Structure 1
Amino acid sequence: MRTSSAALASPSTGIWLPIFAGLCASLVSIGLARFAYTPLIPPLIQAHWFSPGDVVYLGAANLVGYLIGALLGRPMARRLSHKNALRLMMLAVTAAFFACAFPVSVAWYFAWRLLSGIAGGAIMVLVAATVLPHVPAARRGLASGAIFLGIGLGIAGSGTLVPPLLSLGLEATWLGLGVLSLVLTGLSWFGWPQDLPQAAVSVKHDPQKAPMPRAVHQLFAQYAFMAAGLVPAMVFLVDYVARGLKAGAHVGALVWVMYGLGAIIGPVTYGFLADHLGARKSIRWVLAVQATALVLLATAHSFLALALLAVVIGSFPPGIVPLALARVHELVPNHHGQQVAWSRATVSFATFQAVAGFAYSALFNATGGHHGLLFLISAGAIVVALLVDYVPSIASYVSKD
């Protein structure tokens, strides 16, 4: 099946079919592959599949893979085409779900969690660059939010699907996630658009050699510290509620559902803010709110407080993606320059996320499972991201004097 660019430009099905494919890709590769692991941490420990320390490091393996995938995404697309690379990565995630149903060894699990992370990183680099050029400029903000809404749907889906699947056992849970991933991969298979001819031209001109504005490098730094700030809640929230506060797995799952609700709200809300306030001002407001929420999470004990904070914090991981992408589009007018800038931003994000994942894991084990300390450190990382935004302005003001 071959779909022309003209067909993709038609308002009836041409716009929404690739957007739906992008949503499926972000849902499978990030929403499920990464976030479904969080509510599985307590059961994996309780079922003695792995030790608490191993389970945490296996979660970090996905973050390392994400970095590798972010680096390999563009070269892979040049060799295979964007749509074939995206299809291959979705199949890799599906295979990883099925493989994780069998706890052969820590190394086996690490390899498959790593592979799922590689797929997630590659898809994050490629999905917007593949879909958005086929969407009219007036609808690209909505399209971006819809694509990354898949992350939120995956988080919410993991919170609602995993508990009933766990009643059938851990093996059935992983197999069920694999079946869902396979179905979504099939539904998206023919939705991907053809690569634009300009993509080949951009390689010859090598836009990576073009200098980036200073503000873009500032965004890279901000995005990196955002990544470091979102890891603890993303990985440890359910374990904090279930084991740290001794509220049990059921309450932990409920809090994770609220986190998923926030993840659904995030992309749309943050996109709305970017449209009305501008991406830069929106980033400042979002970072201030997130830092406050993480400090409160470290001291919260009541279910109501935890649920409300989970909604706010859950909006952050998927919400900052379209927000950062909107900032790239503000700063870099050229489409191919935007692709390069977004790829580098994703690599920056993935690098700090991977380093933070292992650092938090090591600190968690060294402190005997001190969740609150991790949340406070993550709040500090968010504050640094906020301050980075003001440093160039201060430097420019001083230089004028």
Structure 2
Amino acid sequence: MHEIGRSPVSLALGGLLALAAAMGIGRFVYTPILPYMADGLSMPAQDGGLIASANFLGYLAGALLGSSSRLRGDPRTWFLGALVASALTSAAMAFTAQVEMFLVIRFMSGVASAFVLVFSAALVLERLTLSGRADLSALFFAGVGIGIAFSAILIAFLGHIAATWEHLWLASAGATLVFAGGAAVLVPKTTPALTETTKPNLQDAPKPEASGSLAGLFIAYGLFGFGYVITATFVSTIARTVPALQPAEPWVWLCVGVCAAPSILIWNRIANRIRPRPAFALACVLEAAGVAMTALSQHPLVFLFGAALLGVTFMGITALGLTQARRHAEALGPDRARTLLAGVTASFGLGQVAGPWFAGQLHAMTGSFQAPSLAAAAALIAAGLIVLR
């Protein structure tokens, strides 16, 4: 088992399982469970949006805390502990019906998700680079999409057999623990030894590009966070509440996850061909089109295609934005790199926090998710234009 853990592919798979558990399930399983909670608790959309915002606020706090140089300790211990915490917070959702408790639990879940991402990425990506297999980072990040797809299948199956929303949360917690066990086995405590022939393979990473406006990057990344998260939170709810779209509900979140899994590999290659900034702008436009389709169309196939566009772009935009941030960090020097990356993370996180709350409030006023979804599409277009300039 120790030898398996030293394989770069197994290491990447261990990281994939960690992200699938903490991000694909722990962070995003709320989307397919939300319609069941709304029905079972008669919960209005503004409460659903507020709970989602609490999770994203916790993710923001966790990302900033996890990136702090003051936080010491073994990254493996941190991310495995955070995986257990993610499972526990999912299970805790089944034992209350109070919105205030949901807010606290989902905030804690957001912190745990961020810790898994920060510490597993720091550990796995460093070891992959030292092993000369940095190209396997795309496999590592595919965990988010695979976790989303898995959670979609799990929730659709349990919903089909009439499981309650409480059972859905408990099943998600159990799945998280299983994935965490796989990550613990595949990510060893020791670092693979280097050989003289070991050379990093970066052929799939975007090539460096001269940095543009730093302020523009901050604004664009915040707008992207706002733009993607509204549909990413409410797309299953939209499918359930629009009668013509109900046949698409079991498939919509699965569609997002399946398309998200290979998206970073796809957008890295696109960025190598047309440069990262135009690639970022193109992805924003495609995502805006997908968001608009989920808002305006009542045809299930068009709705699913819009969800597919969301899935194939949101992780790619995330990676491309961080690529641009690293370009700025290289120019500013190592002393300010951590501060810059924390600032970009904060901008993105604030957009994520604002999106679900805004959508819930606007839904309460209009009775529809159409207006907030179109606002999200406009924000994505604006983000693409800012980065392109």
If the TM-score is normalised by the length of the shorter chain, which range does it land in?
0.7 to 0.9
Q: What aligned pairs does 1:60-139 form with structure 2 within 5 A after superposition? A: 60-75=53-68, 78-136=71-129, 139=133
Aligned equivalent of 2:198: none
**Alpha-carbon displacement from aligned partner over 1:118-162 (angstroms, at most 9, x marks no partner):** 11223333332222222237642x333222211111111121110
Q: Secondary structure at the match of 1:136?
A: helix
TM-score, normalised by the number of residues in structure 1: 0.82
Length, aligned pairs only:
366
Give, as a single letter, the amino acid of the residue that structure 1 aligns with 2:356.
G
Question: In 1, Cα distance between the equivalents of 2:188 and 2:318?
Answer: 22
Query: Residues 1-400 of structure 1 correspond to what in structure 2 (within 5 A)?
Result: 13-48=6-41, 50-75=43-68, 78-136=71-129, 139-140=133-134, 142-166=135-159, 167=161, 168-192=163-187, 215-243=213-241, 245-247=242-244, 249-333=246-330, 341-368=340-367, 370-391=368-389
After TM superposition, give the deviation of residue 350 of structure 1 in Å: 1.0
Q: Paired residue for 1:207?
A: none
1 CA distance for matches of 2:56 and 2:349?
A: 7
C-alpha displacement at 1:62, in angstroms? 1.0
AA matched with 2:182: L
| Residue pair 2:286, 2:313 contacting (<8 A) in 1 also | no
Distance 1:277 1:194 in 2: 39
Structure 1 residue matching 2:298: 3-state secondary structure: coil
SS at match of 1:80: coil
Q: Deviations over 1:94-141 (max 9, x none)?
A: 10111112224222222111111111223333332222222237642x
Which range moved further: 322-331 or 61-70? 322-331
Amino acid at match of 1:371: F
Which letter maps to 2:374? L
Residue pair 2:61, 2:111 contacting (<8 A) in 1 also: yes
Give the distance between the partners of 2:307 and 2:164, measured in 1 at CA: 27
Larger displacement relative to structure 2 (274-283 or 129-138): 129-138
Q: Supply the distance in 1 between the matched residues of 2:336 and 2:69 (Cα, whole angstroms).
A: 18
Q: 1:387 offset after TM fit, Å? A: 2.1
Distance in 2 (CA, whole Å) between partners of 1:74 and 1:349 is 15
Superposition deviation, residue 353 in structure 1: 0.9
Q: Distance in 2 between matches of 1:177 and 1:258?
A: 19
CA distance in 2, matches of 1:110, 1:161: 24
Task: Flag the 1:68–1:348 CA change in 2: closer, same or farther, 3 A.
Answer: same
- Say whether the 8 Å CA contact 1:216–1:341 is kept in structure 2: no
Root-mean-square deviation (Å): 2.9
Change (3 A) 1:342 1:139: farther
CA contact (8 A) 1:82 1:126 kept: yes
Aligned counterparts of 2:182 and 2:366: Cα–Cα separation in 1: 45
Which 10-residue stretch deviates more, 267-276 or 280-289? Answer: 267-276
Task: State whether residues 230 and 316 of structure 1, in contact with CA within 8 Å, keep that contact through their aligned partners in structure 2.
Answer: no
* Cα-to-partner distance string for 1:232-269 (whole Å, 9 max, x where unaligned): 110111111210x2246553122222222222232222
CA–CA separation in structure 1 for the residues paired with 2:366 and 2:122: 42
Q: Quick one: structure 1 residues 217 and 27, their matched pair in 2 at CA, closer, same or farther if it must change by over 3 Å?
A: farther
Distance 1:94 1:71 in 2: 21
In the alignment, the residues of structure 1 paired with residue 335 and residue 178 of structure 2 have an alpha-carbon distance, to the nearest angstrom, of 32
Contact map agreement 1:58 1:110 (CA 8 A) in 2:
yes
| Matched-pair contact (CA < 8 Å) for 2:292–2:306 | no
Matched-pair contact (CA < 8 Å) for 1:149–1:318: no
Cα separation, 2, equivalents of 1:354 and 1:100: 20
Please give the alpha-carbon distance, in whole angstroms, between the structure 2 residues aligned to 1:174 and 1:275: 41
Q: Could you tell me whether the CA contact under 8 Å between 2:13 and 2:186 is conserved in 1?
A: yes
AA partner of residue 223 (structure 1): Y
Post-superposition offset of 1:38: 1.0
**CA displacement at 1:16 relative to structure 2:** 2.8
Provide structure 2 residue ranges, at least 5 long, that are not aligned to the other structure: 192-210
Give, in angstroms, the shift of residue 312 of structure 1: 0.8
Any conservation in 2 of the 1:76–1:85 contact (CA below 8 Å)?
Answer: no
Cα distance change of structure 1 residues 346 and 146 upon mapping to structure 2, 3 Å threshold: farther
TM-score for the superposition, normalised by structure 2: 0.84
Using a 3 Å threshold, how does the CA distance of structure 1 residues 323 and 193 change in structure 2: closer, same or farther?
A: farther
Q: Which amino acid aligns with 1:319?
A: G
2:206 aligns with none
Q: Secondary structure at the match of 2:179?
A: helix
Q: Which moved more, 1:166-175 or 1:149-158?
A: 166-175
Q: Is the 8 A contact 1:42 1:249 kept in 2?
A: no
Residue by residue over 1:67-106, the C-alpha shift from the partner in whole angstroms, topping out at 9 and shown as x without a partner, is 1111211238732332222122111111011111222422
